[in-house]
């Protein structure tokens, strides 16, 4: 291993393919605890695939995926995940949905012992997301934005080391989406946690992140363009972002729109030919292992 393991998340030389199609191509990535890391890239480039490898729902074709220095293995409590579609059970109330994870993992004896304390904690969380008075409602009685807030609480109450989110606001209307972006920032500011947030929405990624990773298959390297060359997505840019304020007015500032423009060019333009040796890997945790085929020394 090239890099010493001191990060919450550590991926090195990770490849994933489906059949003959190479999706992820030599992914190197470390994430420090406390970061709100956003991952952005064109639709179909492999963002969800990357998340599945981190959750442990899938094993990489090759390469290393570690959480706190340990192999990810199968999905467990260390990783919480929030999907785009609501993960709530329709026949359970808001409160029951939130308690379900604890109830299932504790076993009936521990559950009975801790039920009161866990229920109190659940109510605290519900208060924070302004859903306290809706605790006895069923999911169909809530709006999409409310359901998604319940899903987030459902994940957070399990106290995962890392919260993985796959386009969690993708199904919401623009106004609700913006409200939930602010809500997520407030949660993250008040509860130290590590978030790995995947989206194809560039504005959302730049707005939310303390770090933005751009995953894309639009780049060049020394492997050439022969038909047999298979090229998958890799991290083509990696920036630290300044967390200024939770105000959304920042989205219309010049610094913000310039960065969005630059990332659009780097990650979303099929004609982009930035060479692997010239990627904008500016974040302090960024590293890159190039093979001789990718970049002749």
Ligand X SMILES: Nc1ncnc2c1ncn2[C@@H]1O[C@H](COP(=O)(O)OP(=O)(O)O)[C@@H](O)[C@H]1O
Catalog residues that contact ligand X under the rule CB under 6 A: 18, 23, 41, 43-49
Residue number, 239 or 268, with CB nearest to ligand X: 268
Are the beta carbons of 27 and 51 closer than 8 angstroms? Answer: no
Find tokens 């890099």 and name the residue: 3
Q: In this chain, which stretch among 41-49, 71-79, 123-131, 253-261 interacts with Mg ion, using CB under 5 A? A: 41-49
CB of 164 to ligand X, least distance (A): 12
Q: Please enumerate, as own/partner, the contacts of 281-284 that have beta carbons within 8 Å and a separation of 24 or more.
A: 281/235, 281/237, 281/238, 282/237, 282/238, 282/239, 282/240, 283/211, 283/238, 283/239, 283/240, 284/240
Q: In this complex, which beta carbon is closest to Mg ion, that of residue 48 or of residue 176?
A: 48
Decide if 13 contacts 26 (C-beta within 8 A): yes
| Residue whose CB is less far from Mg ion, 48 or 210 | 48
From residue 236 to residue 275, the character string flagging contacts with Mg ion as x (rule: CB under 5 A) and all else as - is ----------------------------------------
- The listed partner (ligand X, Mg ion, none) that binds 11, CB under 5 to 8 Å by sort, is none
- Spatial separation of the C-alpha atoms in residues 171 and 144, rounded to whole Å: 8
User: Could you tell me which stretch among 39-47, 80-88, 114-122, 132-140 binds Mg ion (CB under 5 A)?
Assistant: 39-47
CA dihedral of residues 80, 183, 143, 52 (deg, nearest 10): -30
Taking the complex as a whole, how short is the minimal distance between the CB of residue 162 and Mg ion, in angstroms? Answer: 18
Which two three-digit tokens encode residue 90?
A: 């329709």
Task: CB nearer to ligand X: give 46 or 139.
Answer: 46
Q: How far is the CB of 253 from ligand X (least distance, A)?
A: 28
Give, as one character, the DSSP assignment of residue 273.
Answer: -
3-state secondary structure of 73: coil
Structure tokens at 225: 């363009």
Of the two residues 7 and 47, which places its CB atom closer to ligand X in the complex?
47
63 binds, among Mg ion, ligand X, none (CB under 5 to 8 A by kind): none
Name every residue whose Cβ is closer than 8 Å to that of residue 35 and which is 6 or more positions away in sequence.
194, 195, 210, 211
Contact letters for Mg ion, residues 44-83 (x by CB under 5 A): ---xx-----------------------------------
User: How many whole angstroms separate alpha carbon 81 and alpha carbon 195?
Assistant: 10
Closest CB 46 distance from ligand X, rounded Å: 4
In the complex, the smallest distance separating the C-beta of residue 202 from ligand X, rounded to whole angstroms, is: 13
The rounded distance, in Å, linking the Cα atoms of 56 and 67 is 10
Name the binder of 132 from ligand X, Mg ion, none, CB < 5-8 A by kind.
none
We find the least distance from the C-beta atom of residue 205 to ligand X, in angstroms, to be 13
Between 43 and 117, name the residue whose CB sits nearer to ligand X: 43
Q: Which residues contact 108 (CB under 8 A, 6 or more apart)?
A: none
Q: Which does 69 bind (CB under 5 to 8 A by kind): Mg ion, ligand X, none?
A: none
Strands annotated E in 76-206: 79-82, 162-166, 194-199
**Nearest-approach distance from CB 137 to ligand X, in angstroms:** 32
Report the interface residues with Mg ion, using CB under 5 A. 47-48
């Amino acid at each position: 291993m090239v890099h010493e393991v001191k990060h919450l998340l550590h991926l090195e030389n990770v490849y994933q393919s489906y059949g003959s199609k190479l999706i992820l191509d030599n992914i190197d990535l470390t994430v420090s605890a406390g970061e709100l890391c956003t991952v952005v890239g064109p639709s179909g480039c492999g963002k969800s695939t990357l998340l599945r490898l981190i959750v442990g729902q899938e094993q990489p074709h090759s390469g290393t995926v570690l959480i706190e220095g340990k192999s990810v293995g199968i999905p467990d409590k260390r990783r919480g995940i929030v999907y785009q579609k609501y993960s709530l059970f329709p026949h359970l109330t808001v409160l029951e949905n939130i308690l379900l994870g604890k109830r299932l993992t504790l076993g009936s004896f521990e559950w009975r012992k801790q039920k009161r304390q866990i229920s109190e904690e659940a109510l605290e969380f519900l208060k924070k997301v302004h859903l306290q008075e809706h605790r006895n409602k069923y999911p169909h009685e809530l709006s999409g934005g409310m359901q998604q807030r319940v899903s987030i609480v459902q994940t957070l109450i399990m106290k995962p080391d890392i919260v993985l989110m796959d386009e969690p606001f993708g199904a919401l209307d623009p106004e609700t989406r913006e409200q939930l972006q602010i809500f997520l920032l407030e949660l993250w500011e008040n509860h130290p946690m590590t978030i790995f947030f995947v989206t194809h929405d560039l504005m959302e990624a730049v707005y939310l992140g303390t770090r933005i990773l751009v995953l894309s298959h639009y780049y060049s390297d020394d492997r050439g363009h022969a038909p047999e060359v298979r090229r998958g997505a890799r991290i083509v840019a990696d920036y630290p972002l300044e967390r200024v304020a939770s105000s959304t007015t920042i989205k219309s500032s010049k610094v913000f729109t310039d960065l969005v423009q630059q990332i659009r060019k780097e990650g979303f333009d099929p004609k982009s030919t930035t060479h692997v040796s010239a990627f904008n890997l500016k974040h302090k945790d960024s590293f890159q292992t190039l093979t001789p085929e990718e970049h002749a020394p």
